[in-house]
Every structure is written in C-alpha cells, then in structure tokens.
C-alpha cells in the first residue's frame, strides 16, 4: 500500500458528518436503492431518485440545489444516518480541467449543506462497511487513475494503488463484510466494459469478467444480501453472478425522461428504530 497522499486544493464550507467508528459489525444497508441522475434545464445539478427494482418505478424525485453550468453529478454515497448523503459534482465536464465538488446533500429537500473541492475527477464513492472510511476513484488531469481513501474534512486523498487506465473504472462496491471490493468499468464501449474484483490493499485486478449486455455499463452497487446490482445505459438493471459476471435482468426504469441518466447508485442505510414517546 502506498503511504503517500495526494495534495489537494480544497474549500470546506460546512464540516461533513463524522464517519462511523470502526466496528466488528458491518453497517447494514436497507433495501431502498437510490440513484443520482444527470441534470437538465429544470434540474441542472441533477436529481436523486428511489428505484423499485421489482417494477422499475422511479419515486420520489429530489432536485439537488444548484445552478446551471458545465457540471454533472457522477456519484452518491449515503452518510450513516440515512438522512444525508454525499454527491460528487464534476465541474469542467468535457474540458481538460476538472474539479470535483463533494457536497453534503439533505435527502428531504436536496439542500446542499456544505462542500469540499478536489482537483481532478473524484468518483465511485463507497463507505467501507466496517471501518467507515470513504473510498473512491480519482483521475487527475493527466489521466492517471487511482484507488483512493477520501478524507473530506482535510480535503486529502490517500492513494491505495494505481488503476488500469484502459479499464476506466467508474463504480465501486464493497461486499457487506468489507472483504471484497468490486468495480465496474464504464468506457461507453460494450466490448471494453467489465466487472472487476480488486485487491483492496493495492488496487490490483484479481478477476475480470466481460460486460455482456446490449448497452454500456453505468453503475454498480451491492445489496444487503450480497447481490451485485448493476445498471446499463438506458436504465436497465441486472443482477451479476459473482462467479462469472453473468447478468440476469431485473427491471428497466419505467420513466427514463423523468429520472435522467443514472450515474451512481447506493442503498440507503437502515434507519434506527424510533421508540414511541412515553
């Protein structure tokens, strides 16, 4: 594991919620699958949507606070309480200069409670289910891609290892016990996309399974029961077999125009049970 950390220019407007303390028991996700979707004229900073995998229904829509410009949401990751989440907004999309605004967004109304900025493209956000550390993938303006741990409070990235540039990995998912780290490559070319099993100690590729659906891959997440869930361009969801990456179709988003293009997935954490007032 590399001991160095990338020097990142950052501006912290509001401090982020603390990550959970290390635990022997993994943080349990619920069955609520949420996605962040690209924006349009009505919602330039994108939308958060809840997706029913049984029917493909999208409900509800939460518009992320923001203004028009050359930026797009690329990923989301729920904070432990399930009421707020991190959204990565890529600024300078389509240009040679990228800056990622990592925002704390309130789920109830899409309000941005704070942000920290990183040079380059920060994507594939994923909290480790045991340690609570935030992981991601970072691409600098020279095109170098690395697996990183993210310190949002200090605005720094700790490099875990180099990623294969030709794979263009865009999505991460830890198994519920935190021992396996899966990635989905998103090249916009079906013949180049793949499901990868990475070594979390150095980012080396342990297994590679070709993507075999009709459209390019877009995002990956792991359900509470350990199922690998992926979505392709156009909003069709699949369960992927861990042994060979073979896809089984689950559902297609029923109203893609309303939702937009899915760029990131996460299962909402189980909310704590509220005791009745005495």
Domain 5-12+28-269 has CATH 2.40.10.10: no
Three-state DSSP class for residue 206:
strand
DSSP string, 206-270: EEEEE--SSS-EEEEEE-TTS-EEEEETTSEEEEE-TTT--EEEEEE-S-HHHH--EEEEEEEEP
What residues contact residue 164 under an 8 Å CB cut-off, 6+ apart? 145, 205
Domain ranges of the chain: 5-12+28-269
Q: Residue 232 — pLDDT band, cuts 50, 70, 90? A: very high
Read off φ and ψ for residue 244, nearest 5 degrees: -145, 0
Q: What is the pLDDT of residues 50-77, one digit of tens each?
A: 999 988 888 878 888 875 566 788 999 9
Query: pTM for this structure?
Result: 0.86
Q: Is residue 21's pLDDT more than 50? A: no
Q: What are phi and psi of 262, to 5 degrees?
A: -70, 125
């Amino acid at each position: 594991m590399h001991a160095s950390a990338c020097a990142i220019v950052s501006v912290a407007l509001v401090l982020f919620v603390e990550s959970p303390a290390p635990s022997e028991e993994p943080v349990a996700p619920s069955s609520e699958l949420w996605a962040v979707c690209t924006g349009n004229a009505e919602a330039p900073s994108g939308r958060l949507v809840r997706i029913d995998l049984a029917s493909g229904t999208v409900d509800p829509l939460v518009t992320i606070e923001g203004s028009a410009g050359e930026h797009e949401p690329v990923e989301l990751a729920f904070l432990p309480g399930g009421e707020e989440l991190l959204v990565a907004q890529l600024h300078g999309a389509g240009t040679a200069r990228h800056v990622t605004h990592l925002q704390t967004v309130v789920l109830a109304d899409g309000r941005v409670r704070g942000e920290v900025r990183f040079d380059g493209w920060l994507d594939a956000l994923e909290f480790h289910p045991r340690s609570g550390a935030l992981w991601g993938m970072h691409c600098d303006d020279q095109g170098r891609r690395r697996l990183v741990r993210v310190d949002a409070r200090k605005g720094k990235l700790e490099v875990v290892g180099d990623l294969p540039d030709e794979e263009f990995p865009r999505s991460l998912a830890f198994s519920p016990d935190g021992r396996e780290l899966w990635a989905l490559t998103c090249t916009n070319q079906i013949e180049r996309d793949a499901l990868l099993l990475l070594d979390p100690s150095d980012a080396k590729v342990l297994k590679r399974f070709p993507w075999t659906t009709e459209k390019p891959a877009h995002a990956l997440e792991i359900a509470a029961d350990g199922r690998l869930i992926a979505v392709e361009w156009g909003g069709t969801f699949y369960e992927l077999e861990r042994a060979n990456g073979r896809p089984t179709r689950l559902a297609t988003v029923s109203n893609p125009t309303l939702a937009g293009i899915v760029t990131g997935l996460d299962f909402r954490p189980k909310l704590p049970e509220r005791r009745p007032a005495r």
